[in-house]
Amino acid sequence: MFKGSIPALITPFDKSGEIDWPGFDKFVEWQVEQGSHGLVPCGTTGESPTVSHEEHMAIVQRCVEIVKKRVPVIAGTGSNSTREAITLTQHAKEAGADAALIVTPYYNKPTQDGLYEHFKAIHEAVDIPIVIYNIPGRCVVDMSVDTMARLAELPRIVGVKDATGDLTRPLETTRLCGEDFCQLSGDDITAPAFLAQGGHGVVSVIANIAPAECAAMQNAWIEQDRETFETIRDQLAPLGTALFVESNPTPVKYAASVLGLCGDKVRRPLLPASDAARTIVEAAMEHAGLLSGNTNGKAAASG
């Protein structure tokens, strides 16, 4: 089962907007060294909507090669086209990814039966564990827990990344899908509470810039170290809002640039963080202790 702090990796770009491969390599290595429990390349935070299919596949391949099975790689392979999702998932399997994170089909607005058939078709086409990514705020459609329970009966549908922000969902999902069905929060601000409701971890944006802290909070929960858990929770809490003050991943890329991890370049239609957003992000980083004697980012960028 996947658990703990699993960063939804940013994709560094150079000044011309092309993928910064040396920066990506160092960033992935740093994430593993800092204690992340898994990695998600090519999620929304990795700007999957604006990378080409060739770039998408290259990012997954490179991530797998760098990680070398030290932690699970859960590759984002979703699409609003079932055929396209199958192609991307097949590549992830061939590249050696440990699982596929597949978003509900956006824009098409399929019915619940359509959602079931979409995931069932991918399941039948590719022999790889599949984590459903339910994010109605971006996709409009919301997979019901009943539909998820139907899918959970398929052997390779192993869990969900729940970005609904609804803290009643984990309880209902456990009841209908079973305790072995992996539940990962997709919402940083409610991720600590998600654990208390039966969750197993988080696919995190914050972990891009605070991987050690995010991993330590998850470890403290597992170890029942409530004092450490609450201290880190409160330390990171403002970031859960600040990193979404403008469209993700614009704020977190700015934060990463402040730490020297990569540049803040994003691909259009996204734009770099505004001055107002930068002020908010920097205040949250200061609260989290990331600007006080932090040399991790600079070391990663220079090493």
Q: Hey, which residues are catalytic here?
A: 133, 161
Residue among 26, 103, 41 nearest 72 (CA): 41
Backbone φ, ψ for residue 144 (5° rounding): -70, 160
Measured distance CA(76)–CA(141) in Å, rounded: 18
**Rounded to whole angstroms, how far apart are CA atoms 47 and 262?**
15
CB contact burial 242-276 (16+ within 10 A = b; e otherwise): bbbbbebbbbbbbbbbbbbbbbbbbeeebeebeee
Residues 108 and 80 sit within 8 Å (Cβ to Cβ)? yes
Closest among 165, 172, 124 to 148, alpha carbons compared:
172
